[in-house]
Amino acid sequence: MDSFQRFIDLVNITNFEKISNQTILIVGLGGVGGYVLESLVRLGIKNIIVVDYDTIDITNLNRQILALNNNIGQKKVKVAKNRALNINPENNLIALPIFLNQDNIQILDQYQIDYIVDACDTVTTKINLIEYALNKHIKIISAMGTGKRIDATKLAISTLNKTYNDPLAKVMRHELKKRNISLNIPVVFSHELPLNSSNKTITSCSYVPAVAGLFITNYIVNDIIKI
């Protein structure tokens, strides 16, 4: 408990217990999801489920908190579990090294999830997660695009129907409308116009995805304790 005493003093023990007893699913451990994980673990949240099929790549070093030169080639979920335990040995992180899709999403049924964090890049997976969350009455927040941006002050928490200047959000709105799914989904998005929009490579910096991840944690914590 000493590790989290300063946070307990900030929010009081009752609110700390509300926060730390949540079960949170994070899908995607890249530039955004890695910082969500880091900040949740450092708040004392023990019950975290992470889903990611990828391995650490050298191109991840510029923005992903999990990526180090000594773990390139390792599964992201394995690295995530080791890091979580190094921060809090009582952490109960469950690592699922799978590519989540419509065929296997029911694997989540075995967990009592309070929040879903969609930090993945694949549109079909994002749609599957939103459908799943709505059907199961689980709270969800989804990350829109953070690549090709350089101004973190243009990040905001909103709902999908109110996003603009975000190509990924535009695609999501289109696809959800086709399926008659609500667009009133909490998201973190950037209203900065993407730079180098003609470049097929998703360029990135170290801090915009990181701030987006911390915005998600901020949203979850304040939603739990209603400040």
> Cβ distance 185 to 157 under 8 Å?
no
Query: What is the DSSP-derived secondary structure letter of residue 115?
Result: E
Cα 95 from Cα 20, distance rounded (Å): 19
Cβ atoms 114, 177 nearer than 8 A: no
pLDDT in tens, 14-63: 999 999 999 999 999 999 999 999 999 999 999 999 999 999 999 999 99
- Taking residues 138-159, report their average pLDDT: 97
Enclosing domain of residue 28: 2-225
**Which string of DSSP letters, residue by residue, matches 134-192?**
HHHT-EEEEE---TT---GGGEEEEEGGG--S-HHHHHHHHHHHHTT--S--EEEEE-S
pTM as predicted = 0.96
- Rounded Cα gap, residues 56 and 72, in angstroms: 5
Whether the predicted pLDDT of 189 surpasses 70: yes
Residue 1: per-residue pLDDT? 63
Report DSSP letters for 122-134, one per residue.
Answer: -HHHHHHHHHHHH
Q: How confident is the model at residue 197 (pLDDT cuts 50, 70, 90)?
A: low
The number of distinct structural domains making up the chain is 1
In degrees and rounded to multiples of 5, residue 105 shows phi and psi of: -65, -20
Domain containing residue 193: CATH number: 3.40.50.720
